[in-house]
Amino acid sequence: MGRKETERMEFWGYSRPDGSVGVRNHVLILPATRNVNYICHRIALAVPGVTTFYTTGEYGRTGSDRKRLARFLTGIARNPNVANVLLIGMPHGYGYPEFQTDALAAEIARSGTRLEILNVDRCGGLEGTVVQGIRLARELVREATAMRREAAPLSKLTIGMKCGDSDATSGLAGNPALGRAVDRLIDAGGTALFSETLELIGAEQTLVQRAKTPEVAQRLLRLIADWEARAASIGEDIRTINPIPENIAAGITTLEEKSLGAVEKTGTRELSGVLDYCERPGEPGLWLMDAWMSSYSLLPSFAAAGAQIVLYQLGGNELPPEDAPLSAVDPGLVAPLLTISGNPRTAKAAGDYLDVSTGGVLLGTETLDAAGEHILEEIVRAANGRATRGETMRYPEPFEVFFEGPFI
């Protein structure tokens, strides 16, 4: 598939007031604080067609952490996959200012999405908020179900991507195949986000050479130096704690080896810039989001940064050989997760969880270019509305928010 053919590809999605296009049409019940998680849970139980999640049990350790959590919450609400939002909050003036409903609403409103707000004190307490929330949620669902998909170019698509349970096949087949798909998406004007900054150590020069500007290259190098210094400050050497035991059991020997394989998923196009956790890119292209490697904090952060679809490239050679449980099912919250693997053994062991297998590359039945085209086609199918494997399971995968602040 050439560049011109890629540019002609399109998907069918939901046009939003801010010009973005959703691939899902969620009605989100958003808890402003942990105190109202139960209220959101009750509303979601009563109203089919809504989605919610439970705000984490802590608000961070510093002011910057609280801003990060607020950016996470508002980012999820602003995701193009969200049609309408019902924001549930405590009384005005309760708790930290970052989580006041008016502060969150001001940011969410930037998307132009319909937003309704309920505060517990103005609804007569917990039960009154549940009753009014159910009434509003039903109205929002009816409105959302009247929306229809329209044709949209691939330039309207943003993906997030992570690799996990990495093994020898990750750098040889799985990640390079994903990189081919990323190149095609970026050539079409789309956007791709990747992360796991510490897993760039040893491969950073490959990205430095692709940086759009010297400033982008310098920021990347500063971030990597900061990660190493942070580990050293508590007596750790990143190279001795990563690769993790699963990677070592699967045949990866050093962090540099793991990093060189991981960077393959970014393709070959220029690095447009570096983002903070949950920060949205300002233009199309390839972007690095600075974050830790945990699936539970990383996959939903891509959604908070605007990704409509998240991809998890799985190695998995150390998994049980039959009916293997995976480390991440679908914690994208509002963005569906596509799980892919270039390991033929993993495809056999975890077939019920896997959306795309590119194992044919190692078996000699498929080229990397063909595998990349296959991945892009599956991305478009998911964008058009086909459920991913994770979406067919009613399992509320836990999530975390990546906080940096020290315990105080």
> Bigger pLDDT: 196 or 59?
196
- Beta strands 10-15 and 21-22: pairing type? antiparallel
HEC string for 18-69: CCCEECCCEEEEEECCHHHHHHHHHHHHHCCCEEECCCCCCCCCCHHHHHHH
CATH of the domain at 90: 3.40.50.360
Structure tokens at 338: 């596509």
The answer to whether residue 90 is domain-embedded is yes
pTM over 0.85: yes
Q: Is the pLDDT of residue 127 over 60?
A: yes
pLDDT tens per residue across span 193-231: 999 998 898 889 999 999 999 999 999 999 999 988 888
Tell me: do 136 and 158 sit in the same domain. no
Which residue type sits at 206? Answer: T
> Is the domain of 74 the same as that of 203?
no
Mean residue pLDDT of the chain comes to 91
* The predicted structure's pLDDT at residue 330: 67
Range of the domain at 93: 26-145
Mean pLDDT lowest among 54-68, 168-182, 271-285: 54-68
* pLDDT tens digit sequence for 177-194: 999 999 999 999 999 999
On whether residue 133 sits in a domain, the answer given is yes
Q: How many CB atoms lie within 10 A of CB 103?
A: 16
pLDDT winner (highest mean) among 2-6, 92-96, 110-114, 392-396: 110-114
- Per-residue pLDDT, 353: 86
Per-residue confidence (pLDDT) for residue 142, from 0 to 100: 99
Choose from 1-10, 158-167, 238-247, 326-335 the range with maximum mean pLDDT.
158-167
Same domain for 378 and 280: yes
Tell me what pLDDT residue 241 has. Answer: 67
User: Is residue 15 in a domain?
Assistant: no
Q: Are residues 185 and 304 in the same domain?
A: yes
